[in-house]
Amino acid sequence: MTTRKEKIIIGNLKMNGSLDFYSSYFNDVKENLKNLNNVLIGLCVPYPYLFKAEEILKNSNIGWGSQNVAKFLSGAYTGEVSAGMLKDFLSLYVIVGHSERNTAYCESDENIADKFKIIKDQGMMPILCVGETLIEREAGIMETVVESQLKAIIERYGAKTFDDTIIAYEPIWAIGSDMAATPAQTNKMCKFIRNKINKNITNEVKNLKIIYGGSVNTKNALQLFALESVDGGLIGRASLDVSEFVSICKAATSVTKK
Ligand code: PGA
């Protein structure tokens, strides 16, 4: 099990790459990060390359997983991939509720909650994405929006379902935009998320990592990860470049308190 002080960096490779790309990418990342041991690292890749991740990354310090999962365990759901199938390739992480999916595939909060639960029940670690649009931030309702995203899970499954999970605060306006949230905005929202989850329970959630995603790069990583409330990052574009991803992981280790 992980401890609070250990940062976690997850690469979200999105719908990029090819078999050739991943064959060298996994080897390069593994080689360059092999001595980094006070940070958790995961790579969420397209489904067809999970087998390559397993082949190359097993017995390394890097975990792998996917960017979505079906909300059912099996059956007549054409085109879907179940949690059990992900486990066949020893996947550890599953991104759920990413705004790109919510926009393009109309993912509802209820679907996201069910997926979150199924990932946990199958012994994998959900990475729940939450965040507001620019219009919502400008209207000053970003906390209400994020709270309602969390509530969809809390009301269905209870706040303790966040034990051993990851929440990525990803303001939608910051994703793929070169306009990361400021450290002050990030700190405030990450604290807000932790407080909301712990609010109505007597025992605080255990091993919940709250990370930031949205235009993290080598220039802003250190400042964002140094924040007390931020347990790491979800890295999109910058994860596609091995040297950038490696530098970002190193930034996370350099701010980890011993
Ligand atoms: P970005 O993507 O780093 O390219 O902004 C982050 C994400 O969508 O998870």
This prediction's pTM: 0.96
Domain count for the chain: 1
Q: Is residue 2 part of a domain?
A: no
Q: Does any ligand 1 atom lie closer than 6 A to the CB of residue 234?
A: yes
Ligand 1 atom nearest 238 alpha carbon: 3
Task: Give the model's pLDDT for residue 250.
Answer: 96
What are the DSSP E strand ranges found in the chain? 7-12, 39-44, 62-66, 93-96, 125-130, 165-169, 208-213, 232-235
Q: Is residue 63 part of a domain?
A: yes
| 165 pLDDT higher than 70 | yes
pLDDT digits (tens, 9 = 90+) for 50-82: 999 999 999 999 999 999 999 999 999 999 999
Catalytic residue IDs: 98, 170
pLDDT digits (tens, 9 = 90+) for 169-227: 999 999 999 999 999 999 999 999 999 999 978 889 999 999 999 999 999 999 999 99
| 2 pLDDT higher than 80 | no
CB 241 within 8 A of CB 217: no
Task: Give the model's pLDDT for residue 184.
Answer: 98
Task: Give the model's pLDDT for residue 35.
Answer: 92
**80 by DSSP, 3-state: which?**
coil
Name the residue of 234, 239, 247, 248 whose CB sits within 8 Å of the most ligand 1 atoms, as the mutation to test its pocket: 234
**Average pLDDT taken over every residue of the chain:** 95
Q: Is residue 1 part of a domain?
A: no
201: Cβ contacts below 8 Å, ≥ 6 apart: 159, 160
Task: Give the model's pLDDT for residue 258.
Answer: 54
Q: What is the CATH number of the domain that holds 79?
A: 3.20.20.70
Q: Does any ligand 1 atom lie closer than 6 A to the CB of residue 211?
A: no
pLDDT-derived band at 37, boundaries 50, 70, 90: confident
pLDDT digits (tens, 9 = 90+) for 120-131: 999 999 999 999
| 7 pLDDT higher than 60 | yes
Q: Is residue 197 part of a domain?
A: yes
Torsion angle in degrees (nearest 10) through CA of 25, 27, 30, 33: -70
Task: Give the model's pLDDT for residue 257.
Answer: 60
Residue nearest to ligand 1 atom 3, measured at CA: 236
Radius of gyration of the chain (CA): 17
* CA 171 – ligand 1 centroid, Å: 10
| 4 pLDDT higher than 60 | no
Ligand 1 atom nearest 100 alpha carbon: 8
d(CA 212, CA 15): 20
Q: Does any ligand 1 atom lie closer than 6 A to the CB of residue 12?
A: yes
| 159 pLDDT higher than 90 | yes
* Furthest-apart CA atoms within the chain: distance in Å: 50
Q: What is the DSSP string of 225-240?
A: HTSTT--EEEESGGGG
Q: Is residue 180 part of a domain?
A: yes
What element of type H or E holds 146? helix 142-157
Give the closest residue to 8 by CA, choosing from 258, 256, 240.
256
* CA 81 – ligand 1 centroid, Å: 23
Q: Domain residues for 96? A: 7-254
Residue 128's DSSP bridge partners are 96, 167
Q: Is residue 25 part of a domain?
A: yes
Name the residue of 8, 12, 45, 67 whose CB sits within 8 Å of the most ligand 1 atoms, as the mutation to test its pocket: 12
Give the closest residue to 67 by CA, choosing from 234, 251, 233.
234
Q: How many CB atoms lie within 10 A of CB 16?
A: 15
* CA 202 – ligand 1 centroid, Å: 34
